[in-house]
Amino acid sequence: MRAFLRDYQMVAPQTLQDALDLMHYEPGVWKPFSGGTDLMVLLEAGRLMHKKFVSLWGLGELRGIEESPEFVTLGALTTYSEVLASPTIVNQYPLLARAAGETGGVATQNRGTLGGNIVNASPAADSPPALLAYEADLELVSAEGPRWVPYADFHTGYKTTVLAPHEIVARIRLPRRKPGWREYYRKVGTRKAQAISKVCLAAAALRDQGRIIRMRLALGSVAPAPLRCRHTEILLEGQRLSPSLVAKARQQLMAEISPIDDLRSTEMYRRRVAANLLEEFLTSP
Amino acid sequence: MPPVRVVESIGKPVPRKEGRSKVTGSATYVDDLIFPDMLHGVTVRSNIARGRITSIEFDPAVDWSEFTIVTAADIPGRNVISLILDDQPCLADTRINHPEEPVVLLAHADKHQAERARQCVRIMAEPLPAIFTIDESIQKNEVVWGDDNILKSFLLEKGDVETAMATAPIIVEGEYVTEAQEQLYIETNGMIASANPRDGVTVWGSMQCPYYVHKALAPIFGLPGGKIRVIQMATGGGFGGKEEYPSIIAAHASLLAWKSGRPVKLIYDRAEDMAATTKRHPSRTRHRTAVSRSGKLLAMDIDFTIDGGAYATLSSVVLSRGTIHAAGPYACDNVRIRSQAVATNCPPHGAFRGFGAPQSIFALERHMNHVAAAVRLPPEEIRRRNFLRPGGSTATGQVIRDEIDLNALLNRALDLSNYREKRRRYAESRKKGTVRRGIGFAAFMHGAGFTGSGERYLKSVAGVEATEDGIVRILVASTEIGQGTNTILCQIAAQALEIEYGQIEIAQPDTSNVPNSGPTVASRTCMVVGKLVESAAFGLRKKLQESGYLEPRYTPSEFRRACGAYIRDTGTLRSFSEYEAPPNVYWDDDKYRGDAYGAFAWAVYVADVSVDTVTYEVRVEDFVALQEVGRVIHPVLAAGQIEGGVAQGIGYAIHESVVWKDGRMANGQMTNYIMPTSADLPPIRVFFLENPYENGPSGAKGIGELPMDGPAPAILNAVEDAIGRPVDRIPLLPERLMEVLGV
Amino acid sequence: MFEKIFVGFEVNGVARQVETYPMARLLDVLREALSLTGVKEGCGEGECGACSVLLDGELVNSCLVPAIQMEGASIVTIEGFASGENLHPLQEAFISEGGAQCGICTPGMILACAYLLSKNPRPDDQQIRRSLSGNLCRCTGYTRIFRAVEEVAARGEP
């Protein structure tokens, strides 16, 4: 435990409004803290630079999964375990359920939250590709009020987002979808459980009589932020599946992503396996 | 005479002696101990691999008067960690030879203050060129140790390799590489020390070998052995990683205690433990094998090199074991093994379960499959044509006296794993789909006990003492580190005395109270120390019987009463037994020939794997571990040893990779150093055969390290079966497999 | 430099209050302030599970929970399992099946097994493997830990 605890402060306001007012009063001074599964690791390594945190964990306003005719909306504090326990998510948004099940072990799933994961903005996070594939929107709130942002516009670079210093992510909204999508989620990690992703593909396709009508491809760990591969999607939309289309799509995908060498894997591996995952998805019966 | 109930402990799944304390969380590990007035210690380490220390800078913003500060200048005796060559300093003085080398020690009552202060000390040094690989060391661009970077070398010769090679019809060559592996005991290294000139030095801690620590502390303080006391606490795993390393952390804690006059607790966190402590020696083996067209081994020329890191530590012994195991369980009249341990500027490598044998056996068992392919025989057939038989001799000329039938062992393993049917079926199924299945095996042996004259040199002693209420307490320095020492030694004593397992206790290893039964290493605790416990127990009974307190036949209660009576009349009842080499065991230390080990355990392991050509991941789907072990003392504990060892072997083969950056482990977090979780492992199916070994307690041989040898070669043999290409380097990570497949 | 705070919570059914830093780890509060040393530190990064406890009935890594979030919580540690001389069925099974070797992962592992059985009284092999994947054991290869869970599940006890 390498942190000097006396340097750190955390407060736990009783209501969301209190938390937002505090962040508004001193913008950038107070950072939101939910389950701690990312930030506490940094603290223990002596690398948590920021010193003042506002705990959102007890705020009921940020919990719960709500359903309406057009949307399913999850509170930012929804844990991965809560995602897995929701029949609506498991049945209608299986990519998100798969992502939740791949995130850490059970203890991490009980404390890790979707909002925390999104704001932590790791390019290797497991849920973001699913959220991109489902074209999620985020509700960002501050003392000034709420605003909705497409999740696809949330990340602006490596660990940078459009979230203002006095804002938090309050809700994640998933549009209801027509039935008939074929979906695919595969995370390639360093081992079968408790693994940081080396490559991750969340994909969904709507087909009509052999022709691809709509295609959504989102990847993790292959760019500075979670990435929706729009060029590859466009190449595939409107086409009939064929070996040459698959080959072209592989090439396009490999060109669209920008993976790197790091402690866990190599740029070449990530590039090739991303293309393999795409091919596996396209050619699966 | 009343009927005497036969009391049998051996072979029974008695409850683990300290099991209750472990499942209730009451077992006391070193970090659970708090002493009044205790300080917390931290270690300031070098961040370069090699250089000359010019100064140590203490940030003036810190009030250093609050801290105890220790450097090499504070060492009362010799600045050395005494082990074999005495080349490793306790604290670096003028020279740095590896990253994370300890230079300064600090202590403070508040552990957060201590940690923060650690970051406020800077070791200033002029860097010198450093080397990090076996090749760099052999090429001697830089000489970083001795005159030639060579920590140790061996030449082992049998017959005439040159002539056999010259006339050989077929020669098969291969090169095999194994990388470093981290022991990753779940409890990190830690010690608490209390030390002052009047009382001497006492340490409590996580360790495998109390008397190694004892031997290392004495010269550091210039104190006689009687003033040093070492006590082992409950230890959360060792696997060799706590064989020699604890001497260093004990010395550091003691120096801080000596200087401050207060007890000092020094516990490493995971990041420090990974970066600074020992790993398994990386290795490179080159095989050149002459074989007849019918698959008979004519000559084996083996070149075995290990990377010892910056100091010699145990490299000579690791090299020895790796060398002796390099030619395996095969009959070959002409063998030459040239081996060396070379120095680099990595933190010193050290003991890890298997101790050189996993490295050389990996090479051999991969190579045997290449030899098979060269003569167009299946892998099992090349083994059959070359297996040692009773009466045959190993590479060191040791005649096999075991009634071992390796062909039968191989056949049984192949049956248990459904090898033949799977091999056929997988060859078919490989033609379609993205997952390729394969199955492979490894055949091997592992020598138990110290090599050659080692046990004679150790002169281990074990004792037993009785209490007035008839409890018999075992007195050994052999430690429980999870493998079951406490339980099996109590079973052996209970069996020898023909009393209940519940009447036996084992004393906490405390050098002021127990004799030196040798280190808890080398798969010797059951076979060698167990035998000593057995004979000490017989000696205790003999005292009771010869003095008339106990009849020739007795019940457990009568035994109790006899102890009570003897002690009331005489005072103490104790018996000690010292190691004696079995007769007819000859070993030549100079030529490295003769009976290397008292006994070998023999094994065949079979791995069934899947290779996913989408992700290049290898997964072990099923694993069979069959071994002949003399006698199974405790069925649950013995199986547990094999299961755990196989799990570590699977990690060694396909998951565990140390990423080095300028000689330092860059992935020193559990998130980035990948050991298998419960979701990663296959069913591990364990089977035992028993040919009692006459010099083992109830016939038992040692098995602690055996399971480490088989998995990696079996798995890579299976992968080659699956993909049709050779893979000769571990760990076999998906990134490497992708390259091998040439995509 | 910030002040300590008071945090009130329940451990193994007993109400406790400690004075500590808001971001002190629950792990350290238990071990140091309450002398409940059954919970262990294996990694300090939420990977090994040796620090697992139940927090409001949910399995968590106590090295990742800041003290301020413990306010009003109900925590169960390994010390809450045995009652006097009587071991919990999981504890007995760990002894009889060989689920504990060196013992350092055992408290966290037993917590994880208890949590699994509380959610799924008759788990199959895959479910056991998945549920325990956040608790690392270096000694056993997990085989006998699975057997301990199966033993208790078969007996039908919670």
Partner-chain contact B678 C142, CB within 8 Å = yes
Residue C6's Cβ-count burial label (10 Å; 0-12, 13-18, 19+) is: exposed
* Contact assessment for residue A279 and residue A203, using Cβ atoms and an 8 Å cutoff: no
Q: How confident is the model at residue C156 (pLDDT cuts 50, 70, 90)?
A: confident
Assigned domain for B273 exists? no
- Which residues face B627 on adjacent strands? B603, B688
| Residues in C lying within 8 Å of A, measured between beta carbons | 1-2, 21-25, 28, 44-47, 49, 52, 58-61, 63-66, 68-69, 71, 112, 115-116, 130-131, 133-135
- C1: pLDDT strictly greater than 80: no
Residues in chain B within 8 Å Cβ distance of A268 = 735, 738
* Contact assessment for residue B627 and residue B523, using Cβ atoms and an 8 Å cutoff: no
Residue A195 zone, left/alpha/beta (φ > 0; ψ -120 to 50; rest): beta
ipTM given for this complex: 0.98
* Contact assessment for residue C37 and residue C100, using Cβ atoms and an 8 Å cutoff: no
The Cα of A190 is separated from the nearest Cα of chain B by a number of Å equal to: 7
Q: Which amino acid is at B292?
A: S
Q: How confident is the model at residue B5 (pLDDT cuts 50, 70, 90)?
A: low
Where a domain ends, among B238, B265, B292?
A: B265
Backbone angles phi, psi at B566, to 5 degrees: -60, -45
The Cα of C49 is separated from the nearest Cα of chain B by a number of Å equal to: 10
pLDDT (tens digit, 9 = 90+) per residue, B79-115? 999 999 999 999 999 999 999 999 999 999 999 999 9
Cβ partners under 8 Å of residue B540, min gap 6: B464, B465, B466, B472, B497, B573, B574, B575
What is the CATH number for B539?
3.30.365.10
Task: Name the segment(s) of chain C with CATH classification 1.10.150.120.
Answer: 89-155
- DSSP for chain A, please give it: ----GGG-EEE--SSHHHHHHHHHHSTTTSEEESS-TTHHHHHHTT-----EEEE-TT-GGG--EEE-SSEEEEETT-BHHHHHT-HHHHHH-HHHHHHHHHSS-HHHHHH-BHHHHHHHT-TT-SHHHHHHHTT-EEEEEETTEEEEEEGGGTEEETTEES--TT-EEEEEEEE---S-EEEEEEEEESSSSS--EEEEEEEEEEEETTEEEEEEEEEESSSSS-EE-HHHHHHHTTPBP-HHHHHHHHHHHHHH------SS--HHHHHHHHHHHHHHHHH--
Interface test with A, best of B268, B671, B672 (most A CBs within 10 A): B671
* Contact assessment for residue B170 and residue B223, using Cβ atoms and an 8 Å cutoff: no
Same domain, B372 and B481: no
Residues in chain A within 8 Å Cβ distance of B659 = 263
CA distance B669 to C32: 24
Q: What is the pLDDT of residue C146?
A: 98
CA distance B530 to B631: 12
Interface test with C, best of B116, B186, B671 (most C CBs within 10 A): B186
Residues in chain C within 8 Å Cβ distance of A81 = 58
Assigned domain for B692 exists? yes
The Cα of B619 is separated from the nearest Cα of chain A by a number of Å equal to: 10
Considering only alpha carbons, which residue of chain A is nearest residue C2?
A6
Q: What is the pLDDT of residue B600?
A: 97
Same domain, B373 and B405: yes
Interface test with B, best of C40, C43, C54, C77 (most B CBs within 10 A): C43
The Cα of B552 is separated from the nearest Cα of chain C by a number of Å equal to: 34
Q: Please tell me the CATH code under which domain C89-155 is placed.
A: 1.10.150.120
Query: What does pTM read for this prediction?
Result: 0.98
- Write out chain A's pLDDT in tens, 285 residues: 999 999 999 999 999 999 999 999 999 999 999 999 999 999 999 999 999 999 999 999 999 999 999 999 999 999 999 999 999 999 999 999 999 999 999 999 999 999 999 999 999 999 999 999 999 999 999 999 999 999 999 999 999 999 999 999 999 999 999 899 999 999 999 999 999 999 999 999 999 988 999 999 999 999 999 999 999 999 999 999 999 999 999 999 999 999 999 999 999 999 999 999 999 999 997
* Domains: count for chain B: 3
Assigned domain for B14 exists? no
Q: Choose among B326, B355, B348: nearest CA to B338.
A: B326
Partner-chain contact C101 B639, CB within 8 Å = no
pLDDT (tens digit, 9 = 90+) per residue, B309-326? 999 999 999 999 999 999
Q: Which amino acid is at B279?
A: K
- B695: pLDDT strictly greater than 60: yes
CB contact, 8 Å: B19 with chain C?
A: yes
- B413: pLDDT strictly greater than 60: yes
Same domain, B375 and B228: no
Same domain, B634 and B536: no
Considering only alpha carbons, which residue of chain A is nearest residue B616?
A273
Cβ partners under 8 Å of residue C116, min gap 6: A106, C123, C127, C128, C131, C132, C149
Same domain, B655 and B702: yes
Residues in chain C within 8 Å Cβ distance of B681 = 141-142
CB contact, 8 Å: B434 with chain A?
A: yes
Q: What is the mean pLDDT of residues C12-35?
A: 98
Q: Choose among B228, B237, B229, B230: nearest CA to B189.
A: B237
Residue A136's Cβ-count burial label (10 Å; 0-12, 13-18, 19+) is: buried
Q: How confident is the model at residue B585 (pLDDT cuts 50, 70, 90)?
A: confident
Residues in chain C within 8 Å Cβ distance of A37 = 46, 64
Residues 157-176 of chain B whose Cβ lies under 8 A from any Cβ of chain C: none
Rounded mean pLDDT of chain B? 97
* Contact assessment for residue B679 and residue A192, using Cβ atoms and an 8 Å cutoff: yes
Contacts of residues B75-81 at CB distance under 8 Å and 24 or more positions apart, as own/partner, are B75/B220, B75/B255, B76/B197, B76/B220, B76/B221, B76/B222, B76/B258, B77/B218, B77/B219, B77/B220, B77/B221, B77/B222, B77/B223, B78/B219, B78/B220, B78/B222, B79/B220, B80/B219, B80/B220, B81/B216, B81/B247, B81/B248, B81/B251
Q: What is the pLDDT of residue B315?
A: 98
Backbone angles phi, psi at B605, to 5 degrees: -115, 140
Q: Chains with 3 or more CB pairs closer than 8 angstroms to B?
A: A, C
Q: Choose among B507, B497, B506: nearest CA to B562.
A: B497
Partner-chain contact C24 A5, CB within 8 Å = yes
Residues in chain C within 8 Å Cβ distance of A46 = none
Q: Which residue has the higher pLDDT, B529 or C3?
A: B529
Considering only alpha carbons, which residue of chain C is nearest residue B482?
C102
- C157: pLDDT strictly greater than 80: no
Residues in chain A within 8 Å Cβ distance of C61 = 107-108, 111
Token reading at B578:
């010292």
Report how far Cα B290 is from the mean position of its chain's Cα atoms.
33
Place of tokens 């490559």: A199
Of C78, C103, C136, the CB nearest to B677: C136
Question: What does each C-alpha distance from B732 to B680, B716, B738 come to in angstroms?
Answer: 15, 8, 10
Token reading at A45:
């390594």
Partner-chain contact A111 C130, CB within 8 Å = no
Beta-strand relationship, A137-142 and A168-175 = antiparallel
Size of the A and B interface in Cβ pairs below 8 Å: 72
Partner-chain contact C25 A41, CB within 8 Å = no
Partner-chain contact B115 A45, CB within 8 Å = no
Residues in chain A within 8 Å Cβ distance of B672 = 190, 196, 263-264
Partner-chain contact B115 A6, CB within 8 Å = no
Partner-chain contact A9 C115, CB within 8 Å = no
Token reading at B458:
């150790």
Task: Name the segment(s) of chain C with CATH classification 3.10.20.30.
Answer: 5-80
What is the greatest pairwise CA distance in chain B? 83
Assigned domain for B10 exists? no
Q: What is the pLDDT of residue B3?
A: 54
Residues in chain B within 8 Å Cβ distance of A105 = 677
Q: What is the pLDDT of residue B591?
A: 87
Q: What is the pLDDT of residue B635?
A: 98
For domain C5-80, give its CATH number from 3.30.413.10, 3.10.20.30, 3.40.50.261, 3.40.50.12780. Answer: 3.10.20.30
Q: What is the pLDDT of residue B601?
A: 98
Q: Which residue has the higher pLDDT, B408 or B583?
A: B408
Q: Choose among B288, B346, B477, B447: nearest CA to B46.
A: B346
Assigned domain for B143 exists? no
**Complete edge-to-edge strand list for the sheet that includes strand B51-58:** B95-96, B51-58, B121-127
Assigned domain for B301 exists? yes
CA distance B184 to B661: 20
Q: How confident is the model at residue B2 (pLDDT cuts 50, 70, 90)?
A: low
Same domain, B546 and B620: no
CB contact, 8 Å: B664 with chain A?
A: no
Q: What is the pLDDT of residue B141?
A: 85
CA distance B659 to B313: 22
What is the CATH number for B53?
3.90.1170.50
* Contact assessment for residue A153 and residue A182, using Cβ atoms and an 8 Å cutoff: no
Residues of chain B above pLDDT 70, percent: 99
Write down all domains in chain A, each with its CATH number in brackets: 5-55 (3.30.43), 61-175 (3.30.465.10), 181-283 (3.30.390.50)
Positive or negative torsion for Cα A88, A90, A91, A94? positive
Considering only alpha carbons, which residue of chain A is nearest residue C57?
A110
Q: What is the mean pLDDT of residues B233-237?
A: 98
Q: Choose among A193, A20, A219: nearest CA to A109.
A: A193
Residues in chain B within 8 Å Cβ distance of C97 = 636
What is the greatest pairwise CA distance in chain C? 54
Assigned domain for B277 exists? no
Contacts of residues B213-218 at CB distance under 8 Å and 24 or more positions apart, as own/partner, are B213/B246, B213/B247, B213/B250, B214/B511, B215/B82, B215/B247, B216/B81, B216/B82, B216/B83, B216/B247, B216/B248, B216/B250, B216/B251, B217/B247, B217/B250, B217/B251, B217/B254, B218/B77, B218/B82
Interface test with C, best of B242, B677, B687 (most C CBs within 10 A): B677
Same domain, B470 and B426: no
CA distance B678 to B348: 31
- The domain containing residue B66 runs over which residues? 33-128+191-265
CA distance C52 to C125: 21
CB contact, 8 Å: B269 with chain C?
A: yes
Partner-chain contact A44 C60, CB within 8 Å = no
Q: What is the mean pLDDT of residues B44-58?
A: 98
Of C2, C64, C112, the CB nearest to A37: C64
Assigned domain for B184 exists? no
